[in-house]
Amino acid sequence: MLEKRTTADPKAHKRTQALLDRLPKIAKKGYAFGHQEALTYGIGWKNSGSQNKSDIKTVCGDHPAVVGFELGNIEKGSSHSIDSVSFKTMRKLIRTIHKKGGIVTLSWHPDNPVSKKDAWDTTPAVASLLKNGPLSSVYRDWLLNLAAFLRGLKDKKGKRIPVIFRPFHEMNGGWFWWGKGHCSPQAFIQLWRETFQLLTTDLKVHNLIYCYSPNLLVRKNDFLKYYPGDAYVDMLGIDIYQHFTTALFKRHLKKDLKLLRDIAEEKNMPYALTETGLEKIKKKDWFTNVLHPALVGSGICYVLVWRNDSPGHHYAPYPGHSVVPDFTEYVSNDKVLLLKAVREIK
Ligand code: BMA
């Protein structure tokens, strides 16, 4: 990034702007390593809020620098997320990470408001949520609940904690109700813009860095197909998982990270690999020989691997995992920044 970028939210708190300014500084030193729900739970344990634990720390001595949390269910005013995490605990852990100098990113898989099934139910719903749509008041109520949580993210002194907010992600894929084939790009863009307006103007939420984050690209021009505009976005991301061969994954990373870089540089925005992973990490040199070579020098400010839910669904090592030696070597690389390294970058 060549020059300072101002937050999309004109009333963003100073600390929000400071977080946005910090991201390119991180990218200059390497890239931050992130893990979804790192402190919330891991394989065989769950945090009630007071533990200073993550699978990553147990394995290598330091927490990830970026920690993701899932907000799905917050819109309904529920006490627990779709992954059964208490929002009270989540709030505590967000405060913990922030205090330690780490960065928080929030994903959101809201239920389908029409069918009332989960986010993966693709009954068309976006148009109904828009202003003048039949469910616009339902959506306002959702955002009221979301905003109450976001505004409630405060440190001990009562100052708001800035976070990276990544709503309606992977919209160029067809698996969520806000995704490709279930709404028009125009309706998606309208939903994003209205969400931004409601959160910033009506609900006075000013601690968000807005991250636009499609999935792996199929065609070159796909990235900006659902893009709401520079006035509504602070940073760019992309989600790329290894679902098939290593060779294919490497090709995807190379091509898409280059494309992401070109677009982000043109917009003067920081950018990240906002989700990645190889489920169960059965490849013993995945971190050192697959992930790192693709990321080093790519200009991203962070990478985030998905959650450690269970032995059958996890993306980061835990004690006893066959990838632990490789991961330990990976994080010893001075371009891979864990919490202690990132807290020094202010
Ligand atoms: C998905 C899976 C789901 C989970 C969701 C939100 O990728 O891990 O099991 O509910 O993310 O965290």
pLDDT in tens, 299-309: 999 999 999 99
188 vs 165: CA distance, rounded Å: 17
> How many angstroms does the Cα of residue 94 sit away from the middle of ligand 1?
19
CA of 101 to the centre of ligand 1 (A): 26
Sequential DSSP letters for 168-232? S-STTSSSSTTSBTTB-HHHHHHHHHHHHHIIIIIS----EEEEE--BS-SSGGGTTTT---GGG
Distance 277 CA to ligand 1 centre (A): 13
Residue 298 has pLDDT above 70, yes or no: yes
C-alpha 304: how far from its chain's center? 7
Distance 180 CA to ligand 1 centre (A): 19
Instruction: Kindly calculate the radius of gyration of the chain based on its CA atoms and give it in whole angstroms.
Output: 19
| Residue among 157, 246, 175, 244 at smallest CA distance from 214 | 175
Judge whether 79 and 116 are in contact, CB under 8 Å.
Answer: no
* Side chain identity, residue 60: C
- DSSP H or E stretch at residue 50: none
Predicted local distance difference test score (pLDDT) of residue 4: 82
pLDDT value at position 107?
98
Residue 123 pLDDT greater than 60, yes or no = yes
| Confidence check: pLDDT of 1 > 70 | no
Band the pLDDT of 218: cuts 50, 70, 90: confident
* CA 83 – ligand 1 centroid, Å: 7
Q: Mean pLDDT throughout 46-70? A: 97
**Region 318-334 average pLDDT:** 98
Could you tell me the pTM of the whole model? 0.98
- CA–CA separation, 271 and 301 (whole Å): 6
For residue 109, which atom of ligand 1 is closest to its CA? Answer: 6
Neighbours of 122 (CB within 10 A): 19
CA-307 nearest atom, ligand 1: 8
Which one of 40, 69, 109 would you pick to mutate in the ligand 1 pocket, going by the greatest count of ligand atoms within 8 A of its CB? Answer: 109
* Lowest model confidence (mean pLDDT) among 25-34, 170-179, 216-225, 270-279: 216-225
For residues 105-113, average pLDDT: 98
Q: How confident is the model at residue 2 (pLDDT cuts 50, 70, 90)?
A: low
122 close to 77: Cβ distance less than 8 angstroms = no
For ligand 1, atom 10: residue with the closest CA: 83
Residues with CB under 6 A from ligand 1: 70, 82-83, 109, 306-307, 309
Query: Each residue of 93-106: pLDDT tens digit?
Result: 999 999 999 999 99
pLDDT band at 219 (very low <50, low <70, confident <90, very high): confident
Predicted local confidence at residue 48, as pLDDT: 93
Nearest CA, atom 12, ligand 1: 70
User: Average per-residue pLDDT in the chain?
Assistant: 97
pLDDT at 220: 66
